[in-house]
Amino acid sequence: MRKPTMRDRRQVLNRVTRYLDGTPLLDATAKQLDDWQLTLQEKSPQTVCTYTTHIQQFYVWALDEQLIVNDPARRLPKPKLRRRLPRPMDEDDMKRALNAARSLAIVTGSARIFVWLLLAGYCGLRAGEISRLKGSDFRRSEDGGAWLSVDGKGGYPRVVRVAPDLFVYVKPFLDKARRGPLFPTEKGAALSPNEVSKRTNAFLHDTVGIDDTFHSLRHRFATSLADLGADIRDVQAALGHASLNTTSLYLASNTRRGAASVDALAADLDGDLR
């Protein structure tokens, strides 16, 4: 389990412990956990699912370790999540963001946000993956690009291609980092995922003036690959998804290319009606 996941699970367990008000977690009843879940009604369905999963995984572990006899969280319901529509960043907005980030780099002397935009929008990296990057993760190739070993979400490793035209902007950070964190804090530690996404989102909203978020860059990456004709399995591998269903949620290109095909099908309609 990753440190961020451990931290999040600990926070959820602490919330439940406070609610139980003296009852140890291992002694909690199904009724107490049901009542705790009802306190989450003002949370989003996704948050309720996340909290519930953390609790259920804890009791699965406790049962496996024979710390409890019955699992009190086994029947906790999870809200049904609506299928999310793909939300890739518009190409014009992508250009605006990159140009604004380059201008910011000239003024401040820091190209971090510019490189984060590139790594997310052109390599499909998550905020957490960017925050954990080390110099030792890159293997340079003879064509001027690189191959990046990514320890992805859920423990799924993958190798990501960094194109030569992009790697030229990453290289200064790599030369400075050597084998350490690519984007260190002032104390030399790796940035948190939240810091990467928060800074990028603030830049997109306040400086560029668009409503996109960091994650829309990954959607843009997936959509653009599909538009270039990449097989969906290759897009899945590039994104580091365990399930092809997850990848399909990212592909706005399915709608765009499907619309183009429908238009092409009807292109000779006037002639057919003559």
Can 250 be counted among the known catalytic residues?
A: yes
Which residue is catalytic, options 51, 59, 122, 250?
250
Which residue is catalytic, options 112, 218, 219, 220?
218
**Nearest-angstrom CA–CA distance, 269 and 59:** 62
* 189 and 181 Cβ atoms separated by less than 8 Å: yes
Can 153 be counted among the known catalytic residues?
A: yes
Q: What is the CA radius of gyration of the chain?
A: 23
Which residue is catalytic, options 241, 256, 257, 274?
241
**Nearest-angstrom CA–CA distance, 240 and 156:** 7
Which residue is catalytic, options 54, 112, 215, 219?
215
Cα 182–Cα 185–Cα 186 angle in degrees, nearest 5: 125
Q: DSSP letter at 206?
A: I
Which residue is catalytic, options 15, 43, 102, 153?
153
Can 218 be counted among the known catalytic residues?
A: yes
Which token pair is 254? 């399915």
* 89 and 185 Cβ atoms separated by less than 8 Å: no
Which residue is catalytic, options 112, 126, 132, 219?
126
**Nearest-angstrom CA–CA distance, 240 and 29:** 38
In the chain, which residue ranges form alpha helices assigned H by DSSP?
3-20, 30-38, 45-64, 91-108, 112-123, 127-131, 164-177, 193-202, 215-227, 232-239, 244-248, 253-265, 269-272
**Nearest-angstrom CA–CA distance, 66 and 146:** 48
Can 126 be counted among the known catalytic residues?
A: yes
- Which residues are catalytic, by number? 126, 153, 215, 218, 241, 250
